[in-house]
Amino acid sequence: MMKAWLSSLALAAALSVAGVAGAADSTPTHPGQPSYPNQMEGDVVVRDFALTNGEHLANARFHYIALGTPQRDASGAITNGVLLLHGTTGSGRNFLNPSLGGELFGPGQPLDAAKYFIILADGIGHGGSSKPSDGLKGRFPHYGYVDAVEGQYRTVTEGLGIKHLKLVAGTSMGGMQTWIWGERHPDMMDALMPIASQPVAISGRNMLWRQLIIEAIRNDPEWKGGDYTAQPTGYTRALPIFQIMVNNASILQQQAPSRAAATTLYDQWVADYAKTVDANDYLYWFESSYDYDPGPELEKIKAKLVAVNFADDLLNPAELGVMEAAMKRIPHGRYVLIPASDQTRGHQTLTQAKVWKGALEDVLK
């Protein structure tokens, strides 16, 4: 079955349908990550990818990891596709971590890879997909969330030949993009599950801490308008705000139980960022939410939707009442707010599938 599937992708590449070339290869998993049935990686290349702001990206590459085997109906259409979307600072590979994939993709688990064909997509600007650090640096087109969804859509439809999905689900930024999927492609899926997100333009506290990061990068003298040859380092002193915002007070207290421990932890965070982060990639990640605002078109969502948030999530404050108002406008929508407990980690509870996979089982019924 795998050989047949890879052959079909090779054929798609040869035909170059609609200016899209598909490619696939069997690639081993990273150390420490489990392997799943028929796990492989591939790229879909769009020769001229047009962005909503009028910019274009030539030979845009959209990377994905796929698990499982496609099941087909009598017409040959894939019937068991599932698309999972990652957060702002991650990639599709995050879902292979034991606290996610280990709870979701195994035998008898909600997204059993023996039952579903699972696509872990790298959004534009992330992972193996086209991004500023590939070479264009600050000249890379300024993509938004709608552009990211378009890249995912073309990967699924033109690259992998899937016309309909069982589920689109995502965490954080991926959750926000899940709302966009439901509005822009309402007949494309049976179910939607946005996790750790709200269907409203980013503002208030959520925008203020993001703006801090954006301004720290743009005002770092070493950034040089994005045309640096050595990585800037000054802005990394501001990046620990990310860790502060996405973890709850209990986790941070455990990690930094004294003044000295907090200083040490802060210094370690800064050192880690300086070693692992590309300034342009990071800047584009946080600026790309500029076009996110699904609020005006929630009525367009047709699929069954279960939205999951966490009561101790500072990025998506439950007290704003956004979710309750949104559910009244979605025909088949349901909202699950998971109370704070010793199992939750604020926004980062999204990494703990054991906490929220019950809601996933519900949306798949």
Catalogue the active-site residues: 172, 313, 347
Q: Are strands 304-310 and 165-171 parallel, antiparallel or unpaired?
A: unpaired
Q: Are strands 165-171 and 117-121 parallel, antiparallel or unpaired?
A: unpaired
Alpha carbons 259 and 119: distance in angstroms, whole number: 44
Alpha carbons 226 and 42: distance in angstroms, whole number: 29
Residue whose tokens read 């998993």: 29
CA distances from 115 to 6, 69, 104, 359, 363 (A): 19, 8, 12, 19, 16
Q: Are strands 40-50 and 20-25 parallel, antiparallel or unpaired?
A: antiparallel
Alpha carbons 171 and 308: distance in angstroms, whole number: 9
Residue 54, exposed/middle/buried by CB under 10 A (0-12, 13-18, 19+)? exposed
HSE at residue 209, side-chain half, CA atoms within 13 A, is 13
Neighbours of 154 (CB within 10 A): 19
HSE at residue 244, side-chain half, CA atoms within 13 A, is 15
**Closest C-alpha to 117, from 5, 250, 265, 28:** 5
Q: Tell me the residue ranges of DSSP E strands in 161-293.
A: 165-171, 189-195
Token representation of residue 34: 């489990």
- Residue 221 DSSP symbol: T
